[in-house]
Amino acid sequence: MTSAPIPRLLAEWRAAERRWERAGSPSERQQAALDVVAAFAAYQTAALPRETSEFILIADDTQTYVAATPGITGVLGYEPDELVGRTLGDIAAPDQLEPAHELWTAFIVEGRQDGRFRLLAKDGRPVDLSYQARAHHPVAGFHASRLWPDAVADAS
């Protein structure tokens, strides 16, 4: 977890966006986009309370995770770096795999999605989560989802 001041992290996020806007070649744009994602994740990490059950996952267009915030550890047991390179299908509960494709397609078209989803914790247990997701955020081609334990499922 970072201890940098939020204004500095916000400035770093914006500077990364400016580099992405100026990037020339496809490989430069890809690297610059990943820099934006990293700066966004660092800012979000600093903005969230230290002991939170909320976390953010950022995936690319192939549903491959490129970043996660530390809150994931307390909820799913993964360290953020353990998810990088895994896909939504790798951690979705088996009963969620079929609807995940349909949900993803609708999400990309609509640009935003709110709902409930079940992921598998590192130890294999299913965890019911609520989420809010934004397509092409923090930068085009990447998609951020804010997740937290689902209070409705926990109450039942």
List the chain domain ranges: 6-155
Structure pTM? 0.90
Instruction: Average pLDDT across each block of 10 residues of the chain; the chain has 156 residues. List them in order.
Output: 79 96 94 97 91 94 96 96 96 95 94 97 98 97 97 60
Residue 126 C-alpha from the chain's centroid: 18
- Tokens 């070649």 identify what position? 25
Does domain 6-155 fall under CATH 3.40.50.720? My reply is no
